Structure 1
């Protein structure tokens, strides 16, 4: 029996300290099973090259709990280690066996799927164990060995009578980590980190029911059999070629990823690239809500089928973190804990590729079946609008598929929309004004007024619309957006209208003075307009710029960006001087009646705008009943 000290030198003491970067102790099981997978895949690779003169067979990894003995076993049927290899790979901390193996077989390792790169995974065992043992036998004729260590730099190494190739790791679980002796806890970890590992993982057994024999009686119980409980799917959909998968396969995989998600995804995007980096995966577009905060962290990042994290920020563009699915790449650089991305040019290339792939898929869906694409628009628009706002390359591609729905359910692309507006607005040299509504119900009267003039009104109701409109206006100098209840609308209608004022200049001045006298403390800017007599007598509008700045403040834009603090309330009171009621106000003999008519008309306009609330609304209702009596 040999004894000695683990080689902790100046060169490798820093990686040893790094093991404390593992944020969760539970990560040890992922690391040990990753090592077991590496050992098995190495054997498969050597067998395929003819260097391992043995039958590869159908190896599996087994996890066993010895609750009474307070031990956890991880057993593989992989390449194993000789005594010299144990000394080299275990005692010389952070000397990565996988790195050396890949370097040796670098010309033939494209499909080997070796996972380990850091050499520290094994030492995560000491976060949960008082003692760690390795019983291993190489695939060669070297004798088996038994290594053990209590977490100090001292170790024991002796011969073992193990006959089969492979490695068994035995953890003597510490008193503060007995949760890892519970079957439910281990099952949870295996399904979290190792659900799609490329080698079958056995954890206990399960009972399966067999068909009844033909001669069995009706009340005879069906026969059962105990079988290995394989907890993982070694061949998940993303590892296969798109040509080998049907639509139902993609749906089944979605259910496997999200068993508690009952709604089907709208469509999927299969990622598969091997140059200039390796990346596979499947992204799904689910039905989305306007609440961005609950949508994120649903994409799972894997490295050679080992789960790493569901925080994919930096790899996936931020606007696509609202999607679901899997991304798997051996080229994503991770630190020793495999938990955080390092800054790297490859990551940026991967992010750009995913952006382009998603844009191409959306373009294809739009061209292939526009009608179906329009039906799905409300469920995916938040992602697309966010992408247009945050990713310049995506914005450039989006004009091919981004849709702008009207309040009547008609959809336009941006180019179609511009042509439609040009046909409606007579002065082709001026800016084109796109009218839109953010709430069909509360802005109904304004929508109807605009439609009566022949204008299309878009329905733009997602929370990031103010920011997106600003970007669209910046990239299209001859175009601006105005909500139907904004002051721009009146100018636009006025340009189209040829209504002649029924009042003289003297009457206009008198009317304006009367109204301003009543509304002086309400903060309205009074504007007299000659409009159709059927139009409302009083209309309240809000300057587009001021309203949009307030909205951007609420979604994290304007206030912090421009340092304006809280934007003031600013409204215009548009008075239709051709309306009969306005003529009655002007002709009223008593100031009391005139003031009452102005206040009632103003409150009706405020009610239409949604500005009449609380005590003022109560007073308005009481006053209305009095007028009826």
Structure 2
């Protein structure tokens, strides 16, 4: 087929512009990204070969090979993984499928010196090669196919694709290095980069030396090693290998033996992913069976409310030929899921107790997602309630737990009061809070959309019901006041009953069916009037939300 010139889609062009203008100091991350992609290609072929062994019959030993040509200023990274055909080269290297990419790139389009570590969010580490290369050539041949293809681009908006030549399956990426990037032609420098960033890759990474190919990495799955033998730096690099773009906030690594045997290496990010609330967002857990990659789409392995997790789960008991369909209802998957959830919640509970300031950072990033579990996960609801945190009317900027709230409830108080709204400033100014504040009664301030759904579902905590401060039936009379002055004020009468009755009658006549009733209230101390919901009626915030979406 004749050579064909094609244009990158808009998002790729923007991304390449960011790469070209990046001042990112650690340019060597391009090698980490290319090796990671090569490893993934081998993992995917290893899985396909379980049902079609002929795909790897001629070359069963997977590896990544690095070679240099100093005279030509060329660096090559080759693998014998699954490879790509023409359509895959166009779709994988010419477009970006991840949703949300366009908005992110639009936001950073005019920035100079963008930190490229954030670009890892989009799964497009391949383009980091243009930090050091004037042009990039990709020769690839799909396993099971005879035709190879050649993809070439200088990263300025276009690429060409044509017939290529390759003896076997896999992909070779050839970088023509820019002037000033000669360090990446030095064997010692390449060895150092591999040891620093890719030592955890579970297949050999070899470098072409004068006396033959030599393996330069540990080549064992990191999660199979004892924790005591793994450094924080190695954990961090593996975290980036499985999709992280920052430093892990928490690393959870454990080995389960017994009725089922499996290993788990999970990470919680320190930053909130850009697509955390995107319904099409993929889960970040990779499932392996006996070190063989099976899928990164085992959605039943962790619940949606833990979708921020990254890492691997490696089972010794699942069959190697397990299909994604079988995973949907597999009792072993259900068992592992339950154990994973409980272990993660246990570790979060420890962090909340021992490092509350660090836990606050976690909660600001992922609290709204965790609270989805209160609505969706009855089995683990009590454990989740132990770690949820809230702003309150007496907590200032600090977050409090439900245990802390209950521990400082007023004498005579048997209810957990809350108020929900769009943002903290708005709910703090709400006139519905005046009576509570006057009596020193703490009220939880809820500003996440999910709050109005989990509260009715949960109902209570340790026998104490949740009740909205916007409810007309919020009875504060039986609760002790904060001060003697407050108690005396409760007995004072500030109005004439007859005149007030006339005023109430006028309001009822004027407002007619706009409101259910108009009543005298001692809940207000500064405001003249406020709206409340009657017992059993829809909460005010939910009513507003439905009105905004024309549902009322």
TM-score range, shorter chain: 0.5 to 0.7
Tell me by how many angstroms 1:270 deviates.
Answer: 1.1
Local SS of the residue matching 1:308: strand
**What's the TM-score, normalizing by structure 1?**
0.51
Deviations along 1:385-438, one digit per CA (max 9) or x if unpaired, are 2333333342233354333332513343323321212xx243x5xx42423344
Greater shift after overlay, 178-187 or 309-318? 178-187
Higher relative contact order (CA 8 A, sep 6+): 2
Local SS of the residue matching 1:459: strand
Maintained 8 Å contact 2:79/2:171: no
Tell me by how many angstroms 1:468 deviates.
Answer: 2.3
Evaluate the alpha carbon distance shift between residue 187 and residue 507 of structure 1 in structure 2; reply closer, same or farther with a 3 A threshold: farther
Tell me by how many angstroms 1:512 deviates.
Answer: 1.1
- When Rg is computed on C-alpha atoms for both structures, the one with the higher figure is 1
CA–CA distance in 2 between the matches of 1:511 and 1:405?
37
Local SS of the residue matching 1:172: coil
Tell me by how many angstroms 1:250 deviates.
Answer: 1.8
Q: Which residue of 2 is the match for residue 173 of structure 1?
A: 147
Maintained 8 Å contact 1:433/1:480: yes
**2:31 is aligned with 1:31:** no
Tell me how large the CA RMSD over aligned residues is: 5.0
Structure-to-structure mapping, 1:259-338, within 5 angstroms: 261=245, 263-286=246-269, 287-288=271-272, 292-293=277-278, 296-333=282-319
Local SS of the residue matching 2:509: helix
CA–CA distance in 2 between the matches of 1:315 and 1:552?
36
Local SS of the residue matching 1:299: strand
Structure-to-structure mapping, 1:402-551, within 5 angstroms: 402-407=388-393, 408-421=396-409, 424-426=410-412, 431-438=414-421, 439-446=423-430, 447=433, 450-474=436-460, 476-482=462-468, 484-489=469-474, 491-492=475-476, 498-520=490-512, 522-523=514-515, 525-530=517-522, 534-543=525-534, 545-548=536-539, 551=542
Maintained 8 Å contact 2:434/2:526: no
Maintained 8 Å contact 1:333/1:341: no
Local SS of the residue matching 2:288: strand
Specify which of 380, 387, 409 is matched with residue 394 of structure 1. 380
CA–CA distance in 1 between the matches of 2:199 and 2:257?
24
Structure-to-structure mapping, 1:98-177, within 5 angstroms: 171-173=145-147
Local SS of the residue matching 1:268: strand
Local SS of the residue matching 2:403: helix
Maintained 8 Å contact 2:286/2:311: yes
Q: Which residue of 2 is the match for residue 151 of structure 1?
A: none
Tell me by how many angstroms 1:528 deviates.
Answer: 1.6
Deviations along 1:474-496, one digit per CA (max 9) or x if unpaired, are 565442221x444345x326865
Maintained 8 Å contact 2:301/2:334: yes
Tell me the matched-pair count.
390
CA–CA distance in 1 between the matches of 2:472 and 2:385?
28
Q: Which residue of 1 is the match for residue 371 of structure 2?
A: 385
**2:204 is aligned with 1:200:** yes
Deviations along 1:117-165, one digit per CA (max 9) or x if unpaired, are xxxx9xxx9xx9xxxxxxxxxxxxxxxxxxxxxxxxxxxxxxxxxxxxx
Maintained 8 Å contact 1:499/1:531: no
Maintained 8 Å contact 1:299/1:324: yes
Maintained 8 Å contact 1:309/1:339: no
Local SS of the residue matching 2:453: helix
**2:340 is aligned with 1:354:** yes
CA–CA distance in 2 between the matches of 1:198 and 1:416?
46
Tell me by how many angstroms 1:196 deviates.
Answer: 7.3
Local SS of the residue matching 1:381: helix
CA–CA distance in 2 between the matches of 1:255 and 1:180?
34
CA–CA distance in 1 between the matches of 2:341 and 2:322?
28
Tell me by how many angstroms 1:454 deviates.
Answer: 0.9
CA–CA distance in 1 between the matches of 2:242 and 2:323?
24
Evaluate the alpha carbon distance shift between residue 369 and residue 30 of structure 1 in structure 2; reply closer, same or farther with a 3 A threshold: same
Tell me by how many angstroms 1:267 deviates.
Answer: 1.0
CA–CA distance in 1 between the matches of 2:162 and 2:318?
32
CA–CA distance in 2 between the matches of 1:229 and 1:551?
64
Evaluate the alpha carbon distance shift between residue 32 and residue 63 of structure 1 in structure 2; reply closer, same or farther with a 3 A threshold: farther
Maintained 8 Å contact 2:352/2:359: yes
Q: Which residue of 1 is the match for residue 158 of structure 2?
A: none
**What's the TM-score, normalizing by structure 2?**
0.57
Deviations along 1:51-81, one digit per CA (max 9) or x if unpaired, are xxxxxxxx764799xxxxxxxx9989xxxxx
Structure-to-structure mapping, 1:250-265, within 5 angstroms: 250-258=235-243, 261=245, 263-265=246-248
Deviations along 1:213-246, one digit per CA (max 9) or x if unpaired, are xxxxxxxxxxxx8996989973343222112223
Evaluate the alpha carbon distance shift between residue 567 and residue 32 of structure 1 in structure 2; reply closer, same or farther with a 3 A threshold: closer
Q: Which structure 1 residue ranges, 5 or more long, are not aligned?
A: 1-23, 43-58, 65-72, 77-120, 129-168, 189-193, 208-224, 556-564, 569-629
Evaluate the alpha carbon distance shift between residue 509 and residue 414 of structure 1 in structure 2; reply closer, same or farther with a 3 A threshold: same
Maintained 8 Å contact 2:532/2:540: no
CA–CA distance in 1 between the matches of 2:55 and 2:453?
48
CA–CA distance in 2 between the matches of 1:304 and 1:37?
20
Maintained 8 Å contact 1:296/1:323: no
CA–CA distance in 2 between the matches of 1:531 and 1:403?
27
Deviations along 1:187-228, one digit per CA (max 9) or x if unpaired, are 69xxxxx997743266xx789xxxxxxxxxxxxxxxxx8996
Maintained 8 Å contact 2:200/2:234: no
Tell me by how many angstroms 1:253 deviates.
Answer: 1.8
Q: Which structure 2 residue ranges, 5 or more long, are not aligned?
A: 1-40, 67-77, 89-142, 150-160, 174-197, 482-486
